[in-house]
Amino acid sequence: MKKTLLVAVLSLMGTAAFAQSGTGFGIKAGLSYNKNGDLIGSVGDAGQNITEGAEGKSGYHFGFWGKLDFPKMYIRPELVYSKTKSSYNVENSSNDYDLSKLDLPVLIGVKIVGPLHVFAGPAFQYVLSNDLGNIEVQDVENDFSVGLNAGVGVNLGKIGLDVRYERGFSENEARIVSNNITDITGRVDSRPSQVIFALSLKL
């Protein structure tokens, strides 16, 4: 009885994996939890130095993916629009740092067992816009930057679920221009550090 149940479970896992295996393409969407780097600057006429760490907040993404499938591994490029948010507390005023960008991860995955797989690869990022609440900031130094994606996922029929960590490698800061309440100068680190939950569908 136990052997029969084990065979049935393994067969089900194999069927689910096969349903989303093979070269193809699809769509994806999901949620994220993001924290950017520190805000470093000086406030007021006296030039009081400050360093404020970011408070993480949720964001979202959606986009497309393609896949080249091999017996034990796969290559999966993605094109994704991402909206991230984190928060900084400056002079008792909370300011949300909103960042919109296009991400192009190029992932190499390894099939572990059944529908389970792990993956990692570079993520090329193009920043579309950035905003820091009441604090006026310039555009980021570099529109293009590079990061890393790494995670684990499962395939269930045409549906895929994965969780990954993204970290920006390239330093990419935005200069602070002014504040509507208090004079402030400095910079904010726009590099992402986020956990991403994604749902994908093979078309």
pLDDT (tens digit per residue) in 116-133? 999 999 999 999 999 988
Q: pLDDT value at position 13?
A: 44
Dump the DSSP string for 105-121.
Answer: EEEEEEEEETTEEEEEE
Mean pLDDT value of segment 181-201? 86
Mean pLDDT value of segment 170-185? 74
What are the tokens at 46?
């006296």
What domains are there in the chain, each with its CATH number? 2-202 (2.40.160.20)
**Contact at 8 Å (CB) between 170 and 127?**
no
pTM of the full predicted structure? 0.81
Mean pLDDT value of segment 70-93? 91
Residue 14 burial class via C-beta count within 10 angstroms: exposed 0-12, middle 13-18, buried 19 and up: middle
- Please provide the average confidence, as pLDDT, over all residues in the chain: 84
For the chain, helix, strand, coil in percent to 5 are 10, 70, 20
What are the φ/ψ torsions at residue 192 (nearest 5 degrees)? -80, 150
Measure the CA–CA gap between 165 and 163, rounded to whole angstroms: 7
**Contact at 8 Å (CB) between 44 and 183?**
yes
